[in-house]
Amino acid sequence: MSAIKEAVGAAHARILGVGGYRPARVVTNAEICERIDSTDEWIRERSGIISRRFAAEDESVVDMAVAAAGKAIANAGITADQIGCVILSTVTHPLQTPSGAADVAHRLGTTAAAMDISAACAGFCYGVSMANDMVRGGSASHVVVIGCEKLSDFTDSYDRTSAFIFADGAGAVVIGPSEEPGIGPTIWGSDGSQYDAITQRASWIDVRDHNVDFPMLTMQGQKVFRWAVWQMAPVAERAMAAAGITADDLDAFIPHQANMRITDSMIKALKLPAHVPVARDIAEAGNTSAASIPLAMERMLESGEAKSGGTALLIGFGAGLVYAAQVVTLP
Ligand code: UT7
């Protein structure tokens, strides 16, 4: 019996480039309030959202993902033929199969492995974890990780508990080999006992057999809010401990942009020093689920709030319920 050769990966991995795509149309709270009984003040106060972007009718998840990934690839200084895998985290690609990622890969000019992952607002951090393992394990030299959502297609614009929060956009990174560690251990998990906290109103089978409406998203906001506020700070602390750093060592805190009040309560629970800049992209982007962390990362780097080479704490959490956090070096 001959011994099987194993793949050999890079010693370390890091994020090499980031890119975002924000759809052109700005949607104000006033426009949202044309369909729900709410006010601009209430939305700002309870969520921190001032405006958000909605994609055009003919603009798809794949279109937005290609735009963001193309930018990330250019920023990473690599070419399409170096990509070993394309991971698309989305819950709003409107086909069950084939994956959006296969189309994205094709449009990026690669025949690399391609797959979608369904981990909602934690999906970007899930993708980073998987890409890190692929690069270090030798199954891909460079991996494109994209978070992309067109939540406007799956949000009931007349539902006052969710219409104001969800939005559209895409963010992507390229993960590749590094001479030094650039991605700390991922602390991740799930709590399926809260499976119904964010879900679709019906399954495709119900749509087929019971003539129900298109299954929009529904969210038990308070339930998710409480879980995020109480359970996510300890996860973030474990990610820092696993990476061997403390909050004092951070150059940026980039949590999923779920709600500004959730971010504020995490800052308090983590006793985040005042010198650490915090992503607050939600004010103008809304909650873009899997896209929110890379979009916020790109904004912080472009505005100079965070610096290339800095140490950032990422944490994503959402439907499942699922979560993931890791410390990374910024591209
Ligand atoms: O990204 C994936 C994970 N998702 C999240 O992390 C979202 C987590 N949840 C949240 O961000 C918040 O729960 C929301 C922003 C969605 C809602 O804020 P809330 O402070 O939890 O509101 P609530 O549901 O506790 O409602 C408070 C009050 C209620 O009135 P009463 O009973 O106090 O008189 C609601 O009827 O606000 C009322 N309300 C509204 N008022 C104006 C609920 N929705 C609205 C609205 N406009 N749109």
* Two tokens, residue 202: 């019906």
Distance, CA of 212 to CA of 207 (rounded, Å):
5
222 lines ligand 1 (CB under 6 A): yes
Question: Are the C-beta atoms of 170 and 67 separated by less than 8 Å?
Answer: yes
The closest alpha carbon to 179, from 73, 84, 309, belongs to: 309
19 pLDDT band, cuts 50/70/90, is very high
Is 121 catalytic? The answer is: yes
Cβ distance 85 to 112 under 8 Å?
Answer: yes
Q: Write the CA distances from 282 to 23, 133, 277, 299, integer angstroms.
A: 15, 30, 15, 11
Q: Is the full-model pTM beyond 0.85? A: yes
Contact, 194 vs 227, CB < 8 A? yes
Over residues 96-135, the pLDDT tens digits come to 999 999 999 999 999 999 999 999 999 999 999 999 999 9
Structure tokens at 156: 């009931």
Beta-sheet strands, E only, within 60-182: 83-89, 113-117, 142-150, 168-178
Q: State how far the Cα of 281 lies from the Cα of 292, in Å rounded to an integer.
A: 8
Mean pLDDT (whole number) for 67-88:
98
pLDDT in tens, 146-171: 999 999 999 999 999 999 999 999 99
Q: Which atom of ligand 1 is nearest to the CA of 256?
A: 1
Residue located nearest, by CA, to atom 21 of ligand 1: 222
Residue nearest to atom 4 of ligand 1 (CA): 258
255 Cβ below 6 A of ligand 1: no
The residue with greater pLDDT, 2 or 270, is 270
Query: 238-295: per-residue pLDDT in tens?
Result: 999 999 999 999 999 999 999 999 999 999 999 999 999 999 999 999 999 999 999 9
Question: For 194-247, how does the pLDDT look when each residue is reduced to its tens digit (9 = 90+)?
Answer: 999 999 999 999 999 998 999 999 999 999 999 999 999 999 999 999 999 999
Domains contained in the chain, CATH given = 12-178 (3.40.47.10), 187-329 (3.40.47.10)
Which of 121, 132, 142, 259 is the catalytic position? 121
Residue among 32, 46, 321 to mutate when testing ligand 1 (max atoms within 8 A of CB) = 46
What is the structure's pLDDT at 2? 85
Residue 148 is among the residues annotated as catalytic for this protein: no
Structural contact between residues 87 and 124, judged by C-beta atoms closer than 8 angstroms:
no
Q: How far is the CA of 79 from the centre of ligand 1 (A)?
A: 45
As a whole number of Å, the end-to-end CA separation of the chain is: 45
Express each pLDDT in 46-59 by its tens digit. 999 999 999 999 99
Pocket test for ligand 1, best of 157, 166, 225 (most atoms within 8 A of CB): 225
Q: Point out the catalytic residue in the list 132, 142, 256, 259.
A: 256
Whether 254 is in the pocket of ligand 1, judged by its Cβ within 6 Å, is no
Q: For tokens 């700005």, name the residue.
A: 26
Tell how far the Cα of 307 is from the centroid of ligand 1, in angstroms. 35
pLDDT computed for residue 143 by the predictor: 98
Give residue 1's pLDDT. Answer: 77
Structure tokens belonging to residue 136:
């270090």
5 pLDDT exceeds 90? yes
- Distance from residue 305's CA to the centre of ligand 1 (Å): 30
| Known active-site residue 106 | no
Tokens encoding 62: 């794949």
Concatenating the DSSP letter of every residue in 14-76 gives EEEEEEEE--SEEEEHHHHTTTSS--HHHHHHHH--SEEEE--TT--HHHHHHHHHHHHHHHH
* CB contact set of 13 (below 8 Å; sequence gap of 6+): 131, 132, 135, 136, 175, 176, 177, 178, 182, 183
Q: Does 231 contact ligand 1 (Cβ within 6 A)? A: no
For ligand 1, what atom is nearest to the CA of residue 166?
A: 1
> Are the C-beta atoms of residues 122 and 188 closer than 8 Å to each other?
yes
